[in-house]
Amino acid sequence: MSEKHLSTQFDSELSGISTRVLEMGGLVESQVAQAVYALTNFSGEVATEVLRNEERVNTMEIEIDRDLSTIIARRQPTARDLRLLIAISKTIANLERVGDEAARIARTVQRLIEGIFLRRFGMHIHVWRKFDSDFRLITARRNPNMVILFAAMLASRPDLGLIAVAWWTVLSCLVHAVRLAQAELQHRRGEPVTSWLMG
């Protein structure tokens, strides 16, 4: 195989990775904008969308990093090209961290929903109905996330573990938003919103 042909293949692979890094950057930029919107507008729906996109960002990082490793192993790039590949690797790691921060903001929206419930109804959302208490027992202290990640690690699929954790977080956020809406509806009908533990 000629050196020119190898160089052309390398350039083509590098171009494909560059395109995916730009796509990842656009997705992370969108995540940050949505997270700020969710925070300033107390939007559980938008926070859920941020968390849904987090799994895509994590998957993209894993795939791009894997492809970079493959290129390094197969092409044995020159020092200059190797520095470029390492810079791309660091870039995707940083983009993934920014995506994590956007997801953290979305989880803050969940906590704000809990705070709104507390301020509005004078009790924690987790003691309103038995369902809420049971849900809190399951979600407390991030235990499900650790179990999901550990199981994924045992299956040698940490990427699926990250996706499952993102979906679990989305589900938790939706449950909180729905429960807040249900309590507000009950209050507007003139029915008291009281803890199941009081009766």
Q: Tell me the percentage of the chain whose pLDDT exceeds 70.
A: 94
CB 35 within 8 A of CB 100: no
Q: Is the pLDDT of residue 72 over 80?
A: yes
Out of 58-62, 111-115, 165-169, the most confident range is 58-62
Sign of the dihedral through C-alpha 127, 43, 29, 49: positive
Q: Which domains does the chain have, with CATH numbers?
A: 3-198 (1.20.58.220)
The predicted model scores a pTM of 0.57
- Per residue in 16-43, pLDDT (tens digit) is 988 898 888 888 888 888 887 887 777 8
Element spanning 199, H or E:
none
Q: Distance between CA 175 and CA 128 in Å, rounded?
A: 13
Distances (CA, A) of 153 to 65, 97, 197: 18, 20, 39
